[in-house]
Amino acid sequence: MAAEPRSGDELARVLMRKAGGDEIVLVRLIEDDDVPDDVLGFHAQQAVEKMIKAVLASNDISYERTHNITYLLTLLDSSKIPRPEQADRLPDLTPWAAGFRYSDLPEPTLNRGETLSLIEGTKICAAEQIG
């Protein structure tokens, strides 16, 4: 099987579409108190990760396979690409990708309203960068 391309407009479109799927899950379930925070946090992290990767791909910037949002934001910075407005809060989503998902340890409570705001701000920024 051929390796997945790591840059280009086509990959950016795929990543934005996939991020949209994570966002839809999040939006539809965010008000349901029966849905655990780790499920919502996972989809929030995935949406943001994919949106940032889409911006990187559209600018032909290679990145490693990672869930680390801080690393992805560093790539934006080093390439002089504007960050989302609330970028300083985005790394808080990184542990939801795997750490909180596979742990029996007490986890922080996800601020659901703020999480939606982070997703929306990241989506707007990504759309502006991708065009």
Residue 51, in any domain of the structure: yes
Residue 111, in any domain of the structure: yes
Q: How confident is the model at residue 103 (pLDDT cuts 50, 70, 90)?
A: confident
- What's the rounded Cα separation, in Å, for the pair 107 and 126? 29
Per-residue model confidence as pLDDT tens digits over 8-47: 999 999 999 999 999 999 999 999 999 999 999 999 999 9
In the chain, how many domains are there?
A: 1
pLDDT value, residue 109: 84
Q: Among candidates 63, 49, 67, 25, which has minimal Cα distance to 126?
A: 49
Distances (CA, A) of 13 to 34, 45, 67, 93, 116: 33, 18, 19, 22, 21
Residue 3, in any domain of the structure: no
Mean of pLDDT values over 45-69: 96
**For position 81, which CATH number holds?**
1.20.120.330
Residue 33, in any domain of the structure: yes
Residue 1, in any domain of the structure: no
pTM above 0.75, yes or no: yes
pLDDT value, residue 106: 63
Q: Among candidates 123, 121, 101, which has minimal Cα distance to 110?
A: 101
Residue 4, in any domain of the structure: no
Region of 56 (left: φ > 0; alpha: ψ -120 to 50; beta: rest) is alpha
Mean of pLDDT values over 36-60: 96
- Domain of 102, in residue numbers: 9-130
b or e along 55-86 (b: 16 or more beta carbons within 10 Å of the residue's beta carbon)?
bbbbbebebeeebebeebbebbeeeebebbee
